[in-house]
Amino acid sequence: MASITTWVRLEPRARDHDLMPGVEARLHDPLWLLARQWQLGELDGADAGSVVTAHSEAEVARIDAARGGEGEWTALHPDRAPLGSVMGPAPDEASARPPLARRARGGRHLQRLLAAAGLPPGEIAAFVDHYPLALDDAERAALDDPDRRLFAVMAGRVPDGDAAAAALAALLADASAQLPDDLGIAAERIAAASAVCRSWLAWYAELSATSSSPAWRAEQLAYRYQVRAPAAGGDMILAAANDRDGGVRWSDVDAARGDAPPRDAATLEAAALPSRVRFRGMPTRRYWELEDAAVHWPSIDAGPGDVGRLLFVEYGLTFGDHWLMVPLEAPAGAVLRVTSLSVTDTFGVRQSVRAAADLDADRGDSSWRFLELSRDAGLDGPLVFIPPAVTAMSGPVLAAVDFARDDVADVLWAIDRITLGADGRPRTVDIAPPTPASVAIATYRLGPDVDRAFHPYRWREGDGAPSFTLASVPGASAIVRADLPAQLNSHALATAAQRLIERPSLFRTADGGYHVVHLRSSVAVSPPPTPALEFDKVQEPS
């Protein structure tokens, strides 16, 4: 049977050396083209109009209170304060320092106040004689070289802040009491010196106050806090249950219904000209425009089961030029619920844009969420949370501790990396490998040889959930560490090692003010080397 297969090739061949007519793309009969567009209904503009204006409406519920965990609600103005009242109040520069730096600074400030009140140097020196800055043997042994230099400079020159505060508070307990004559102060300056000491006592009490964070859960190495926002349908509770980096972002919280009665909610309206969203590698909108080679889409390696990457490529290539951006100025520290969005195209047709969640609800599915808060079924959406402050910068690391598992010894180690010295400055902890001491005869050692930077946690199964409990190395003196949690939940640490970091962060609020808050964060690190727990070891002579 004869074949009827015919091959047809289309080959672009220019018969003229001038390529300009082909590039011009001329239309020989524009009236005929307009008639055909009218016949096919293209002039109706049913789906070909470009968006000209967009009108949006939203309900605004500003936060008014916050609390850590299940504690008491604390009033919070979003324009004047970040979530520092929950994450931890901003301590003074020396309030977080060890006692030596605080005591020395307090005594030096007392000297400045007395000098400003007109007391001569001899009478100011009497405070140094009565309340000298001194350390006991245990405190001296814990000092390193910078701490010893600080103590050598301050001892005998400034009074001890703790000792002076304890003595002066007892002497000036009565509102009419004056300083005694045995301090060596002239009679005509006793009243002025007493007033100075009272003001100094109030300042030192605030300086010595320890600032604790009600939101910090040491056993989980994370923050837990709640924010309340009154709304028209009842107040909303924004809860963060496992915030490990201390930063407040919209994605950290989930919305739930509170038990307060409904309140009046403000309405925010805006009309703006939409602008197209641009990103690198997006499809070109002009026919003769060349594609940007900065982004190579075929390099994205996505298998048949990689739904996330496949959706990303599909949105980028197919719908990449369909996104529009409409600005909406909203106050900081507020929860917004977009109630309506309507657009007007070039043909004057106004259409209402429905949320994706509403379209899914018509089909009985409401699982799609994109750039909005997760919420309970009783809350209407979509919801957008704008934090009350933004982080401007972070300060140096003040303390760092690594948590690493040792499955062989069945121990969780807390390893000091950065600690605060007695002068209030951070110190990098140098861990040297253990060197056996030279012995003349064979020596029997019961306990292990572990550096003091290692703190063990042992597994405990009590009445509650299993947890790690802070223990001590056998044969070593127990070290009291207030900055280490007494217990750690078993799920607080993943298999990988974690580093707990404390550093000051600078926040800026809507009123232009700056606030310093000490925050903790947990980051994954490479597993550090852990000591070997060797018991009942005989050390041979070297």
Q: Are the C-beta atoms of residues 253 and 385 closer than 8 Å to each other?
A: yes
Q: Are the C-beta atoms of residues 194 and 200 closer than 8 Å to each other?
A: no
283-289 long-range contacts (CB < 8 A, ≥24 apart) are 283/317, 283/320, 283/321, 285/321
Residue 5 in domain: no
Amino acid at 66: A
- Verify that 248 and 227 share a domain, yes or no: yes
User: Which pLDDT value is given to residue 55?
Assistant: 92
Phi/psi at 196 (5° precision):
-65, -40
For the segment 419-433, what is each residue's pLDDT rounded down to a tens digit?
877 777 788 888 776
Give the residue carrying structure tokens 């977080």: 96
Q: What number is the average pLDDT over the span 335-345?
A: 88
- Verify that 315 and 443 share a domain, yes or no: no
Q: Are the C-beta atoms of residues 369 and 377 closer than 8 Å to each other?
A: no
Question: End of a domain among 208, 243, 260?
Answer: 208
Residue 3 in domain: no
C-alpha distances out from residue 47 to 41, 275, 324, 345, 347, Å: 11, 19, 16, 10, 10
pLDDT over 90 percentage in the chain: 2
User: Which pLDDT value is given to residue 342?
Assistant: 92
Question: End of a domain among 208, 235, 263?
Answer: 208
- Verify that 56 and 140 share a domain, yes or no: no
Question: End of a domain among 208, 226, 259?
Answer: 208
Entry pTM: 0.68
For the segment 202-259, what is each residue's pLDDT rounded down to a tens digit?
888 877 665 567 788 888 888 888 888 887 777 888 888 877 777 777 888 888 888 7
User: Which pLDDT value is given to residue 96?
Assistant: 41
- Of 150-154, 355-359, 365-369, 525-529, the poorest mean pLDDT is in 365-369
Q: How many structural domains compose the chain?
A: 4
- Verify that 329 and 232 share a domain, yes or no: yes
For the segment 254-271, what is each residue's pLDDT rounded down to a tens digit?
888 887 777 777 888 888
Distance (Å, whole) CA 521 – CA 498: 10
- Verify that 217 and 204 share a domain, yes or no: no
For the segment 120-134, what is each residue's pLDDT rounded down to a tens digit?
988 888 898 888 888
For the segment 300-313, what is each residue's pLDDT rounded down to a tens digit?
777 777 888 888 88
Q: What number is the average pLDDT over the span 496-503?
A: 86
User: Which pLDDT value is given to residue 318?
Assistant: 77
Q: What number is the average pLDDT over the span 462-475?
A: 73
User: Given its phi and psi angles, is residue 512 left (phi above 0), alpha (psi -120 to 50 degrees) or beta?
Assistant: left
- Verify that 379 and 502 share a domain, yes or no: no
Pull the structure tokens for residue 207.
Answer: 């300086």
Beta bridge partners of 67: 226
Q: Are the C-beta atoms of residues 53 and 273 closer than 8 Å to each other?
A: yes
Pull the structure tokens for residue 230.
Answer: 């009154």
Which of the two residues, 525 and 12, has the higher pLDDT score? 525
Q: How many helices (H) and strands (E) does the chain have?
A: 11, 24
- Verify that 467 and 485 share a domain, yes or no: yes
Q: What number is the average pLDDT over the span 489-502?
A: 80
Phi/psi at 308 (5° precision):
-60, -45
Confidence label for 97 from pLDDT (cuts 50, 70 and 90): very low
What is the total residue count of the chain? 542
- Verify that 359 and 440 share a domain, yes or no: no
User: Which pLDDT value is given to residue 175?
Assistant: 80
Could you give the angle at the alpha carbon of 267 between the alpha carbons of 347 and 76, nearest 5°? 145
Average pLDDT, the chain: 78
Distance (Å, whole) CA 530 – CA 428: 18
- Verify that 227 and 365 share a domain, yes or no: yes
The pLDDT of residue 27 is above 50: yes
Could you give the angle at the alpha carbon of 513 between the alpha carbons of 508 and 517, nearest 5°? 55
The pLDDT of residue 465 is above 80: no
Distance (Å, whole) CA 431 – CA 455: 13
User: H helices of 333-450, where?
Assistant: 356-362
Which structural domain, as residue segments, surrounds residue 301?
A: 278-322
For the segment 175-200, what is each residue's pLDDT rounded down to a tens digit?
888 888 888 888 888 888 899 999 99
Give the residue carrying structure tokens 């605030």: 206
User: Which pLDDT value is given to residue 95?
Assistant: 39
Distance (Å, whole) CA 244 – CA 521: 5
